[in-house]
Chains A and B, each alone.
Chain A
């Protein structure tokens, strides 16, 4: 037997074995005319009797060319005699399995419903409507998967911390001056750029002449001499939070000396990156009240408003607000070095209510 099938059957557009479309009814007729059983034909071709039955019961089943040749040989005819007149080739397996059966029926049904004719391209490749549909379906599915993947990646980028730079800000507020032996408040404001909760470690180094008396919140760790103190704090919902402590300058500190403070903030999310505490870096040892920022010997309206706005609502630390109010009311003050406290001095001769 020679391959007299259509030349088009030698080519495939989307891979797979060469296929031919045979006339099923004709094949049955030829077999019955010769008194051959389906079992015989199946044995010669090398397929099951079910497959032979399916070929015969369908109008124009697509069969592997190799099997079609064996079938023709079993029936004692040329392959051409068995072929469908239109001799259209499909790129579908002949379906030895149940799954294949289902696939084949589907292809046939699609073709029957569509009624489209196969197209031969310039290279002689055959493109059946089903092949085209499958091809475009694959493209669409791949495209959808890509879009979903991109969307998931974008969501992860937006939702997660990936690509976001965490910025931690820390600002220290110190009074410009404090008398030797005097106490003063230190405020450190922390801010985190992320809305999520993160834990921070603030480390504050105070000068030798300065002792930290009390802090709110209380510190988490310190060296025995309290010159290096650490706070572990958790930022909440992106809001800024504050650490406040009261410190005392040694009575032996030299007048006009400038005492430097230094601090840094770290976080597990920022790796080894260290954020320096900005803002005020030091206080000068001068015989003026820490609230008397302009060193004019009295606490004026703006100075008392600033103190009360900043410290008025803070609990747990003794800032000396009552004393500050007395100084504001009196109009002046002096620093009592022995008692280590400010004494309100009435600068006006008028009566006070």
Chain B
């Protein structure tokens, strides 16, 4: 009888720990879902995003999408592949380091909407070979935000 009682207690103990594990798992899953959701919401709230409009060619355009509240100023940085030069661009870049193949635009007073940066290269390029990013200061945190340009 005593043994049976002990066995029963052990059973209850294992069930209890199983329940704890189950609740813990549920909590972890809920937490991860919340994080994913928050990340999605956060990503959706990026005030400035950019992507290459064209896949390949000497002329490639970049679409910069700004949504309210638009940062006061945004820097678009483009890193050229080796042997490729930027012959012309509209608007004109503010900084061009030919040694490093790095071109920068300081975009000021962007209005909400889509803006186009037209790029003319010395030869055909694939947008996959281009590295570009958007930089601006987060209006809430004041910290520098850096986002890659989509392809």
Q: Do A and B bind each other?
A: yes
Q: Tell me if A136 counts as interface (CB < 8 A to partner B).
A: no
Interface residues of A in 5-57 (CB under 8 A from B): none
Name the B residues within 8 Å of A328 (CB-CB). 94-95, 106
Given contacts A301-B135, A353-B86, contact A309 B72 (CB under 8 A): yes
**Cβ of B100: which chain A residues have Cβ within 8 Å of it?**
348, 350
Interface set, chain B 77-92, CB cutoff 8 A to A:
77, 86, 89, 92
In angstroms, how far is the closest chain A Cβ from the Cβ of B122? 13
A301-B144, A305-B137, A328-B106 known; A312-B99 Cβ under 8 A: no
Q: Check: B117 CB closer than 8 A to any chain A CB.
A: no
Give, as a whole number of angstroms, the nearest-CB distance from A349 to chain B: 6
What's the nearest-Cβ distance from chain B to residue A187, in Å?
A: 14
The proximity string for A residues 334-353 relative to B, scoring 1 for CB distances below 8 Å and 0 otherwise, is 00000000000000111111
Kindly state the separation between the CA atoms of A301 and B133 in the bound complex, as whole angstroms.
Answer: 12
Evaluate contact between A312 and B106: CB separation under 8 angstroms.
Answer: no
Interface pair A304/B106, CB less than 8 Å apart = yes
Complex Cα distance, B95 from A328, in Å, reads 8
Complex: chain A residue closest to B77, CB-CB: A301
Residues of B with C-beta under 8 A to A349: 99
- B73 on interface, CB distance cutoff 8 Å: yes
Set B73, B86, B92, B96: member contacting A305, Cβ < 8 A: B73
Among A305, A313, A351, the one with the most B-chain Cβ atoms within 10 Å of its Cβ is A305
By a CB distance below 8 angstroms, the chain B residues around A348 are 97-100
**For chain B residues 2-31, which have a beta carbon within 8 Å of chain A?**
none
Closest residue of chain A to B103, judged by CB? Answer: A353
Task: Answer whether residue A59 sits at the interface, using C-beta atoms and an 8 A cutoff.
Answer: no
A118 at the interface (CB under 8 A from B): no
Tell me the complex Cα distance, A305–B92, Å: 18
B136: which of A305, A313, A351 is its contact (CB, 8 Å)?
A305
Q: Please measure, in the bound complex, the distance between the C-alpha atom of A328 and the C-alpha atom of B77, giving whole angstroms.
A: 13
Interface of B is mostly: strand
The B132-151 residues at the A interface (CB cut-off 8 A) are: 135-137, 144
Asked if residues A350 and B108 are in contact (CB atoms below 8 Å), the reply is no
Residues of A within 8 A of B96 (CB): 350-353
Q: What separation, in Å, do the CA atoms of A353 and B89 have in the docked complex? A: 9
Distance A308 CA – B73 CA, assembled complex (angstroms)? 6
Instruction: Let me know if B72 and A313 touch, CB within 8 A.
Output: yes
Chain B residues within 8 Å of A309, by CB: 71-73, 137
B85 to chain A: closest residue by CB: A351
Cβ of B125 under 8 Å from chain A: no
Judged by a CB distance under 8 angstroms, whether A138 is at the interface is no
Give the shortest distance, in Å, between B143 (CB) and chain A (any CB).
9
A302 part of interface (Cβ distance < 8 Å): yes
A293 at interface (Cβ–Cβ under 8 A)? Answer: no
Inter-subunit contact B137/A329 (CB<8 Å)? no
Q: List residues of chain A with CB within 8 A of the CB of B59.
A: none
Whether A282 sits at the interface, judged by CB under 8 Å, is no
Min Cβ gap B119→A in Å is 12
Residues in chain B near residue A302, CB distance under 8 A: 135, 137, 144
User: In the bound complex, how far is the Cα of B96 from the Cα of A308, in angstroms?
Assistant: 20
B94: contacting residue among A305, A313, A329, CB under 8 A: A329
B75 interface hit (Cβ, 8 Å): yes
Question: Which one of B71, B72, B92, B99 has the greatest number of beta carbons of chain A within 10 Å?
Answer: B72
Whether B93 sits at the interface, judged by CB under 8 Å, is: yes
Expressed in whole angstroms, the Cα–Cα distance for A301 and B93 within the complex equals: 14
Q: A301-B135, A308-B106, A353-B89 are in contact. Are A331 and B75 (CB under 8 A)?
A: no
Is A325 part of the contact surface with B, judged by Cβ < 8 Å? yes
On chain A, the residues within 8 Å of B106 by CB distance are: 304, 308, 325, 328
Contacts of A306 in B (CB 8 A): 137
Query: Closest approach, in angstroms, between the C-beta of A300 and any C-beta of chain B?
Result: 10
Q: Please, could you name 24 A-B residue pairs with CB atoms under 8 Å apart, sorted by A?
A: A301-B135, A302-B137, A302-B144, A304-B106, A305-B71, A305-B136, A305-B144, A308-B73, A308-B106, A309-B71, A309-B137, A312-B73, A312-B109, A313-B72, A328-B94, A348-B98, A348-B100, A349-B99, A350-B97, A352-B95, A353-B86, A353-B92, A353-B93, A353-B96
The 6 A-B pairs of least Cβ separation, nearest first, read A350-B98, A309-B72, A308-B73, A329-B95, A350-B99, A302-B144
Given contacts A301-B144, A302-B135, A353-B96, 5 further A-B contacts (CB under 8 A): A301-B75, A304-B73, A305-B136, A329-B94, A331-B95
